[in-house]
């Protein structure tokens, strides 16, 4: 089958080179048994590509099972995928076959695979490596011959670095990667998709299709479409049902795009995820709390010295300050005559913290904490990062930024 016939069969609209490349890769890998990882933003149509791979493969006459890993509770995901024995857990009244057993000789599509718990990831890795699995509550090893296609809308490498996804599983799944482009990178396809959806809804609701005037078309092309094709389809359906006028103006379109702010100029932006921000904020809090504790300890020591020498509020009159703290000659007597001076009785110690010379640099404290954590864990960065309450990636960046030697 050629590219155009694949598009017609699976209802794919668009001529973007990025989209065409993704379809071509799916067609080329289909006859093999290689595992495939499909990545792309939510709403880009990732679920179409596993179907292309299955129907162009030698397994097309066997089962194709699609599983949304993010929609299955963590407590039951193992049972759903691998099955369970009778009495394996509360409520397991009968033996049950899992998806991998049902999909034997066929294809299983694991959507949102990054949502799998780590324990389930271990089981999945075994299936990929040996084709073996065990039901929940069973010690009997079973074999399955299954083609695995996975998809996710998250950055899997970041999930690997944060410890949420196994690195070995990532490389086993990612034998052949397919990247689905977002709609904003397929500008020439936006109006094509709108016209197709408008025609479909026209037939469905038995009314004339909606059309866009020039201003509305320009707004559609400038919009970033965070929900991608799914969002475009939903907005087209809303316009088809709600709007009485079949020619949609720019002002009417803006009512359906509440976050529209006009054309966006190109800008260089380095994203910072919430986890990184939270981790850096936590380490700053920890530094500040440690500094406060050190200052309080210092104040306590000074107060104890004052109480011990009977110097509650004032310095002694007509006496050497050092002698007042060391009356028994604890210090070596200097050879030069002591210099005495008068101190006003009314002079009180208002805040001993003013006399303490200590670096209050957050950077210095941060370096000190990182070095202590690395020394404590003998250079093991992962353990040190956990002790500091930050991500391992943040720790790597801090070590490089401050040029900390290990």
CB neighbours of 188 closer than 8 A, spacing ≥ 6?
A: 14, 15, 16
Handedness of CA 350, 353, 357, 363 (dihedral sign): negative
Structural tokens at position 293: 């504790």
Residue 253: how many other CB atoms lie within 10 Å: 22
**H/E run at residue 125:** helix 118-130
Tokens 């020039």 map to which residue? 214
The CATH class, in words, for 185-254 is mainly alpha
pLDDT for 333 equals 44
Nearest CA to 219 out of 241, 244, 239 is that of 239
The angle subtended at Cα 288 by Cα 283 and Cα 293, nearest 5°, is 125
Handedness of CA 74, 76, 81, 82 (dihedral sign): positive
In terms of Cβ atoms closer than 10 Å to its own Cβ (0-12, 13-18, 19+), residue 137 is middle
pLDDT for 321 equals 44
- Identify the bridge partners of residue 151 per DSSP, sorted by sequence position: 38, 111
**H/E run at residue 7:** helix 3-10
pLDDT for 297 equals 80
Please, what's the b/e burial string for 298-325 (b: 16 or more CB within 10 A of its CB; e: otherwise)? Answer: eeeeeeeebeeeeeeeeeeeeeeeeeee
Residue-level pLDDT, tens digit, the chain, 406 residues: 789 999 999 999 999 999 999 999 999 999 999 999 999 999 999 999 999 999 999 999 999 999 999 999 988 999 999 999 888 787 778 888 999 999 999 999 999 999 999 999 999 999 999 999 999 988 899 999 999 999 999 999 999 999 999 999 999 999 999 999 999 999 999 999 999 999 999 999 999 999 999 999 999 999 999 999 999 999 999 999 998 899 999 999 998 987 766 555 454 445 555 555 556 666 776 777 778 777 888 888 787 777 776 654 444 444 444 444 444 544 444 444 444 444 444 444 444 444 444 555 677 888 888 888 888 888 888 888 888 888 888 888 888 888 887 6
Query: DSSP string covering 287-327, please?
Result: HHHHHHHHHHHHHHHHHHHHHHTT-SSBPPTTS-HHHHH-T
CB neighbours of 406 closer than 8 A, spacing ≥ 6?
A: 374, 379, 399
Q: Torsion angle of alpha carbons 190, 191, 195, 200, nearest 10°?
A: 10
**H/E run at residue 143:** strand 141-143
Structural tokens at position 354: 């003013």
pLDDT for 236 equals 95
CA distances from residue 310 to 49, 102, 274, 319 in whole angstroms, order as listed: 84, 86, 54, 14
Nearest CA to 182 out of 339, 14, 51 is that of 14
CA distances from residue 380 to 47, 214, 284, 291, 406 in whole angstroms, order as listed: 41, 60, 22, 25, 10
- Identify the bridge partners of residue 150 per DSSP, sorted by sequence position: 37, 110
Cβ–Cβ < 8 Å for 114, 67:
no
Cβ–Cβ < 8 Å for 161, 391:
yes
Structural tokens at position 229: 């094709």
Tell me the C-alpha distance between 241 and 237, whole Å. 6
pLDDT for 192 equals 95
Nearest CA to 164 out of 209, 207, 112 is that of 112
Domain ranges in the chain are 3-181, 185-254, 274-329+342-402
Tokens 């920890």 map to which residue? 286
- Identify the bridge partners of residue 64 per DSSP, sorted by sequence position: 107
pLDDT for 175 equals 93
Structural tokens at position 247: 């020619």
Structural tokens at position 222: 């400038």
SS3 sequence of 75-108: CCHHHHHHCECCCCCCCCCCCECCHHHHCCCCEE
pLDDT for 361 equals 67
Domain covering 3-181 in this structure, CATH number: 3.40.50.300
């Amino acid at each position: 089958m050629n590219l155009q016939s694949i598009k017609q069969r699976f209802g794919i609209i668009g001529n973007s080179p990025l989209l065409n490349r993704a379809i071509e890769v799916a067609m080329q890998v289909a006859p093999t048994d290689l595992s495939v990882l499909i990545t792309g933003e939510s709403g880009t149509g990732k679920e179409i590509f596993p179907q292309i791979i299955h129907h162009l493969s030698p397994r097309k006459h066997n089962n194709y099972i699609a599983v949304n890993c993010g929609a299955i509770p963590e407590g039951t995901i193992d049972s759903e995928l691998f099955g369970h024995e009778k009495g394996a857990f509360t409520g397991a009244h009968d033996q049950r076959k899992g998806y991998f057993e049902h999909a034997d000789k066929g294809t299983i599509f694991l959507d949102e695979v990054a949502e799998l718990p780590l324990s389930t990831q271990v089981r999945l890795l075994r299936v990929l490596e040996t084709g073996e699995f065990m039901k929940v509550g069973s010690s009997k090893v079973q074999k399955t011959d299954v083609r695995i296609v996975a998809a996710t809308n998250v950055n899997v490498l970041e999930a690997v670095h944060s410890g949420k996804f196994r690195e070995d599983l990532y490389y086993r799944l990612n034998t052949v990667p397919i990247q689905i482009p977002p709609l904003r990178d397929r500008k020439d396809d936006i109006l094509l998709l709108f016209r197709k959806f408008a025609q479909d809804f026209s037939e469905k609701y038995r009314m004339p299709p909606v059309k866009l005037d020039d201003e509305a078309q320009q707004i559609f092309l400038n919009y970033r479409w965070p929900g991608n094709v799914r969002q475009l389809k939903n907005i087209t359906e809303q316009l088809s049902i709600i709007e009485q006028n079949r020619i949609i103006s720019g002002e009417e379109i803006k009512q359906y795009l509440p976050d529209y702010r006009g054309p966006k100029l190109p800008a260089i932006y380095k994203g910072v995820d919430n986890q990184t921000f939270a981790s850096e904020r936590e380490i700053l809090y920890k530094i500040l709390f440690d500094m406060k504790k050190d200052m309080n300890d210092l104040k306590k020591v000074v107060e104890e010295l004052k109480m011990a020498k009977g110097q509650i509020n004032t310095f002694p009159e007509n006496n050497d300050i050092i002698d007042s703290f060391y009356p028994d000659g604890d210090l070596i007597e200097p050879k030069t005559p002591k210099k005495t001076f008068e101190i006003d009785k009314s002079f009180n110690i208002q805040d001993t913290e003013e006399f303490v010379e200590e670096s209050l640099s957050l950077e210095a404290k941060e370096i000190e904490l990182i070095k202590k954590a690395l020394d404590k864990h003998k250079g093991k960065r992962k353990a040190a990062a956990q002790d500091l309450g930050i991500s391992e990636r943040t720790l790597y960046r801090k070590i490089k930024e401050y040029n900390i030697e290990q």
